[in-house]
Amino acid sequence: ATPTAVMVATGVGASHGVLIKGGDALERAESIQHVIFDKTGTLTQGKAAVTAAKVFSGMDVGDFLTLVASAEASSEHPLARAILDYAHHYHFFDKLPTTENAGKQIKEAIPSGWLLEAMDFSALPGRGVQCLINGKKVLVGNRSLLTENGVSIPVEVESFLIELEENAKTGILVAYDGTLLGVLGVTDPLKREAAVVVEGLKKLGVNPVMVTGDNWRTARAVAKEVGIEDVRAEVMPAGKADVVHSFQKNGSIVAMVGDGINDSPALAAADVGMAIGAGTDIAIEAADYVLVRNNLEDVITAIDLSRKTFNRIR
């Protein structure tokens, strides 16, 4: 393709909200063989909502939710936001939110006065959070976080977790002073266009892949809903780039689509990194493409545009 053709394609892309950083990226997109999608915020809307809260310890559910929200108050993870919204609703309305009223009254900033004081907060990427409340250690996160801290997971809790996960929900475990208190179930709906885009990629001869830090059972359930067979789950934040490299090993051209800070090494490692426009600045910086409309259809637009520019459509 001539420099003029590249310039025209870049302009056409921009008019569709597909920002292309340079002709090399435009050219590489033509021969993409695998598209690796991050799950949370990329295939899903990134609007996690708590759908279940189950206390196993006999604690009052309101106290349980206040404790969990207090532990998550300093976290920037989307799951933390969902937990705070849910607990906030319970605190002010004295009942669990329903799907219809969830989030409605949470438009304004959450006042923090009702939370307990959390000391020594730390976020553990890919696992959860920990802190001290009333001088006792509070853990909120996945199985690994609890087992690494020597908290055992009772059989009844494990079966509740499995039920959540088989329904594509993420189970969040809560422990206080070494004992498991309860579990929250969180769901994050798929983007409306996700399944159509996955189908479209298959028609173009491109292999869709999903990568996530979430557990295997939830990951498989979500992947099944969206039509992806190739799944990598329980990947630590630093491991996403390794997944990209593993697909590149046999000389394949790999695209990564992601939105998070966690995704930026993988976006940089990929032959073509595509950041979701609503994603974090770090992801946008690491990527070759920015999908400004936050619509996954633009992954296909990007591939089409490249194929047309380089005349490989016969």
The Cα–Cα gap between 246 and 256 comes to 13
Q: Which is nearer to ligand ADP, 126 or 208 (CB)?
A: 126
**Region binding ligand ADP by CB under 6 A among candidate stretches 134-142, 154-162, 273-281, 287-295:** 134-142
CA distances (Å), origin 273, targets 116, 259, 284, 287: 41, 10, 9, 4
Contacts of Mg ion in 35-54 (CB under 5 A): 38, 40-41
What SS3 class is residue 200? helix
Distance of closest approach, residue 299 Cβ to ligand ADP, in angstroms: 18
34 binds, among ligand ADP, Mg ion, none (CB under 5 to 8 A by kind): none
What are φ and ψ of residue 98, in 5° steps?
-95, 170
The span from the CA of 66 to the CA of 72, in Å, is 10
CA angle 291, 292, 293 (to 5 degrees): 95
Which one of ligand ADP, Mg ion, none interacts with residue 212, CB within 5 to 8 A by kind?
A: ligand ADP
The verdict on 85 binding Mg ion (CB under 5 A) reads no
Please identify, among the stretches 31-39, 147-155, 176-184, 198-206, the one whose residues bind Mg ion according to the rule CB under 5 A: 31-39
Evaluate the CA torsion angle 222, 193, 198, 263 in order and state its sign: negative
User: Rule CB under 6 A: is residue 264 a binding residue for ligand ADP?
Assistant: no
Q: Which of residues 6-45 bind ligand ADP (CB under 6 A)?
A: 39-40
Rounded to 5°, the CA angle 10-14-15 comes to: 120
What DSSP string runs through 207-250?
A: EEEEE-SS-HHHHHHHHHHHT--EEE-S--GGGHHHHHHHHHTT
Residue 223 CA to residue 47 CA, distance in Å, equals: 17
User: Does the annotation mark 120 as catalytic?
Assistant: no
Site for ligand ADP in 219-238 (CB under 6 A): 237
Q: 227 to 266, contacts with Mg ion by CB under 5 A?
A: 259-260
- Select the binding partner of residue 259 from ligand ADP, Mg ion, none (C-beta < 5 to 8 A, by kind): Mg ion
Residues counted in the chain:
314
Can you give the binding site for Mg ion, defined by CB under 5 A?
38, 40-41, 259-260
Give catalytic residue positions: 38
Can you give the binding site for ligand ADP, defined by CB under 6 A?
39-40, 72, 75, 77, 79-80, 126-129, 140-142, 170, 172, 212-214, 237, 260, 262
